[in-house]
Structure 1
Amino acid sequence: MARRSARLLVALGTCALLLALADAASASNVATGLQGEGRDLQVPTWLYLFTGGAAVGASALLAMFVTDRRLVDRLHRGSYRLSVRSSPIRWLRLGTGVLAVALLGLVVYTGMTGPRLANANLAVLVVFVGGRAGLVMVAYLLANPWPAVNPWRTIVRVLPSGLHEYPERLGVWPAVCGLLVFIWLEVVAPVNTNPETLAVAVLVYSVYTLAGAVVFSPGAWFTYGDPVAVLFRFFGAVAPIRRTAEGFEFGLPGARLRETGPVEGLDGVAFVLLLVWELTYSAFVVTPPGIATVEALVGVGVPPLAVYLGLLFAGYALFLGSYWLATRYAKRVAETYVTAEHLAIRFAPPLLAIAAGYHLAHYFTFFVSLSPSLALTLASPLSPPLPPLTLVLPSWFGLLDVAFILVGHLLAIWSAHAVSFDVFPSRLQAIRSQYPFVAVMVVYTMTSLWLVSMPTAEAAFVN
């Protein structure tokens, strides 16, 4: 039975790969989604979207044939542990933290006094190329680096803290609210084009997060309250490497998504869905349909800032509602006494793989093209070379966006399959419970592929 399931798993991976490659080939002229260079598809849009959705649906169908629990356990629980003495790690983290604090000060200084050209300013390059793109990619591709590089955690070590106990009932809701504010400001404020505005934003955020760490303990605040730290912690659940008390643990990418991981309640579910929605939202508002929607609402008298805020909350509510409906329907079709809330919590971690795929699709090309500017500016932060060096990437890089999205969804499909066999004792119940979640993932896939297939422009009425 184990050999048969192993062969079936290989067939599953091969079929999924072939479907993904076929979809990528059909979308060989898709837009990168970040460079603003729209190109026409060589196939009808409906066929391109149907192919992507079919790739995910077919992969889910094939995954359902893998019913050997021992094989699923070996794939998700097999790991290699490396023991490392704590003292070198502690000194390394301290040194990294000190360097991060110095870099934070340099970001604020160069944002205020450096070049006005965003691509040549250290503040913009470090925050968006190094942090928003590069460090987040490290978090889900390798391991979560934020506990070591978090400059505010290093600063708060010399400040009094723990004045009040963090209320358990809040969970990560403060981080959800904070991330919503960040997403909105990134669209409506010129933080990625005006270095001085970015420096002010960094200062305001520094005061906010240091205050939270002082009022509550740093451990509680950076685990639950700080949106940046929570974002890295959640993305770190996808990574193949994690830090343990004895050293490091190595496993397959996404292996820990079978566990509840960082999702401890409905607040965690809300944060996961926000990670999925935020890049969808950021992509939508710079595409022709998004710009047309904004212009239409502004045309009837709605202020632009309110339009973007309304779209942010409306789309987020739609994502939350669709996931909750899928959860309720999964409970019904599985004919189980397991609560819908428990199902929502257990099936939420696999969605982190989708969020990681979205992030990689949106930021990989951006990171590669601007990494030379980042490196040269770090080498000479006070007098960066002008004009900035930007790599011109070949057109086939657009294929990677499609591939990243599909790989993220395929990993989510498999992780959800493993979760279902963890939750339900019956194989039939486990398979039935996946139907609604697969349907939601297919919709997510087609939506994201539709967005990356369109040209992009500046968001209307802002920046």
Structure 2
Amino acid sequence: MRLREIAITVKLAACLPLPAQAHVSEQGFVLLLPTGVYSAAGVAAVALTVLALFVLPGATVRDLFAHRALAARAFARTRQITSLAALAVLIFLVYLGFFGPRDPLSNLMSLGFWTLGWMAAVSLAPVVGNLWSWINPWTGLYRVLGPLRPIVALPERVGMWPAVVLLMGFAAFQLADIAPDDPARLARFVAIYWVATFAGMMLCGPGWLRHGELGTAVFSAYASLAPVRFSDPAGAGGPGWRLLAEKPMPAAGIFALCLLGVGSFDGLNETFWWLGTIGVNPLEFPGRSAVVGQTLAGLLLACEALVAVFALTVWMGLRLARADTGFGTAFGWLALSVLPIALAYHIAHYLTSFLVQIQYSVAALSDPFARGADWLGIEPFRVTTGFFNSIDSVRVIWTTQAGVVVLGHVWSVLLSHRIALRLFGDGPRTALATLPLSVFMIAYTMLGLWLLAAPKGA
């Protein structure tokens, strides 16, 4: 690989426009760094982790996810205040969406939702915990206006099925809508969603958020990987211990797999391979409106295929181990082990977009109405994409993305083995039950690293 080729490609990529999409991807990008070596090393790291688990005693794996109990703290009054404050901020953002600057790169409705919310806040959930429980814009107002008792009691068997449907709808809007970053369009989407969710709470009580509010579902899922939790059941331990502390809700495993499927397809549908498959020239992308049907079909197929393949690995594991554990129980628990992979894909996929769009967000915070104000005193401020113009910085960015993906897979392998110990106990039965799942995770590592390195043209 000649350095001159790499330099030319990186410079071309740096000259491409970077619109404030749900993620910045309306661009052609061909990565010519020698990524094969890094990918092979990443796959080897995951494979070695799998092999190590066959010889490590179960007690060692249990210790990785051990935790100690802490005194639970509810912070109910504080959460009410922060929720009301978040509602006020949301109203301001919706106002900006309808009446603020039309450029998504200058409007805090678009930048706040996609960059600060979907990219940044979600990625921080395993570190800071369930931030959404503090800033969701419903609970504060519900405590003021809501009925003492819910009008309709949701049966527990409803589980997370409403959240699964909402996740697929959100992904369809994000990936297939012609302009998901348009401020007015996004403001309308958010306003309708807020009203519908608050109506659900007024009808079914605060429990509706657990079943049918997407932000609560996403943040709760990723926050379950955090090492510390202050609300009940409070404790501190190895990242992921909370997944073992509570019985999963019905469809929680399906939701986790759909999170992974959505993230994977989000990367796949930008690649030259996918565009060629649907008959689109990646260097002459005709626009989202020309591929809405293909995108929706691909999204649905990706999630269905992932659920089916994962179910097959669980079934094969149960057959190999001759285990008495029911398929539904094993599937529901083991599917949660893909959450670290889904999180890693989320962080890696949006890293480059975030590096650019966070700069636009700072500029918009300083001048929210795009009238030349400088509330933060940062002028002269210029957005830069210079880090895409250097071989060294591009190498750092890509290796960071690859490292996050590999770490997520290693984490998932360890977590799946710990869950298997819970289901099947110590001994060869656990190793046999997790063998197909381990092969699945090694293969998915290869897929994830390929998605990072694959040429992109949409």
TM-score, scaled to structure 1:
0.83
The match for 2:274 is 290
In structure 2, C-alpha distance between the alignment counterparts of 1:80 and 1:34, rounded to whole Å: 42
- 1:198 and 2:183 matched: no
Task: Please say if 1:389 is aligned against 2:374.
Answer: no
Aligned partner letter, 1:389: V
For structure 2, the 5+ residue unaligned runs are: 1-5, 15-22, 374-380, 388-392
Please, which of 38, 56, 69 is the counterpart of residue 30 of structure 2? 38
Render the CA deviation track for 1:146-178: whole Å, top value 9, x for unaligned. 111001222333334522111333211111011
Find the residue that maps to 1:119 and give its secondary structure.
coil
Contact 1:34 1:366 in 2 (8 A): yes
Distance in 2 separating the partners of 1:388 and 1:189:
30
Deviation at 1:186, TM superposition (A): 0.6
Amino acid at match of 2:52: L
SS in structure 2 at match of 1:79: strand
**Are 1:167 and 2:159 matched, yes or no?**
no
**Are 2:106 and 2:363, in contact at CA under 8 Å, matched by a contact in 1?**
no
Residues 279/391 of structure 1: CA separation in 2 closer, same or farther (3 Å cut): same
Question: TM-score, normalised to structure 2's length?
Answer: 0.84
Residues 81 and 140, structure 2, Cα contact 8 Å, conserved in 1? no
Alignment deviations for residues 71-109 of structure 1 (CA, whole Å, 9 cap, x no partner): 33333223363665x5xx334322311221111111111
| Structure-1 separation of matches of 2:189 and 2:71 | 40
Give the counterpart of 1:231 among 200, 215, 218.
218
The answer as to whether partners of 2:267 and 2:451 remain within 8 angstroms in 1 is: yes
Equivalent position amino acid for 1:78 in 2: H
1: distance between equivalents of 2:112 and 2:406? 29
Which position in structure 1 is the counterpart of 2:242?
Answer: 256
The aligned amino acid for 2:65 is: H
State how far apart, in whole Å, the 2-side matches of 1:449 and 1:405 are. Answer: 7
Say which is worse superposed, 155-164 or 196-205, in terms of deviation: 155-164
Query: Superposition pairs for residues 142-161 of structure 1, below 5 Å?
Result: 142-161=128-147
CA distance, structure 1, for counterparts of residue 368 and residue 175 of structure 2: 27
Q: Which position in structure 2 is the counterpart of 1:52?
A: 42
Find out whether 1:63 has 2:40 as its counterpart: no
Q: Residue in 1 aligned with 2:302?
A: 315
Cα contact 2:173–2:180 (8 A) shared by 1 = no
- In 2, Cα distance between equivalents of 1:347 and 1:311: 25
- Aligned equivalents of 1:164, 1:90: Cα separation in 2: 24
2:293, 2:155 → 1: CA distance?
31
Distance 1:238 1:169, change over 3 A: same
- Residue 390 (structure 2) aligns with: none
Supply the distance in 1 between the matched residues of 2:279 and 2:382 (Cα, whole angstroms): 33
From 163, 179, 184, the equivalent of 2:167 is: 179
Q: Which amino acid aligns with 1:63?
A: L
Tell me the distance in 2 between the aligned counterparts of 1:40 and 1:34: 20
Matches within 5 A, 1:362-401: 362-383=349-370, 389-390=383-384, 392-393=386-387, 394-395=393-394, 396-401=396-401
Deviation at 1:391, TM superposition (A): 5.6
- 1:451 corresponds to 2:457: no
Equivalences, count: 420
Q: Is the 8 A contact 1:133 1:367 kept in 2?
A: yes
Q: Which residue of 1 aligns with 2:18?
A: none
d(CA) in 2 for partners of 1:159 and 1:226? 19
Asked if structure 1 preserves the Cα contact closer than 8 Å seen for 2:340 and 2:411, the reply is: yes
Write the letter of the residue equivalent to 1:381: P
1:374 deviation in Å?
2.0
Q: Which structure 1 residue ranges, 5 or more long, are not aligned?
A: 1-26, 459-463
Q: Which amino acid aligns with 1:430?
A: T
Give the stretch that moved more between structures: 305-314 or 273-282: 305-314
Distance 1:316 1:41 in 2: 30
How far residue 276 of structure 1 moved from its aligned partner, in angstroms, is 0.6
1:169 and 1:289, CA in 2 relative to 1: closer, same or farther beyond 3 A? same
- Structure 2: distance between partners of 1:233 and 1:367: 22
Deviations 1:322-357 (A, max 9, x none): 011001101011111111111112212211111111
Check 1:166–1:426 CA distance in 2 against 1; reply closer, same or farther (3 A cut): same
**Which moved further from structure 2: 72-81 or 347-356?**
72-81
Structure 1, residues 200-247: CA drift from partner, whole Å, max 9, x if none? Answer: 1111211221221122112x111111122111111111112223249x
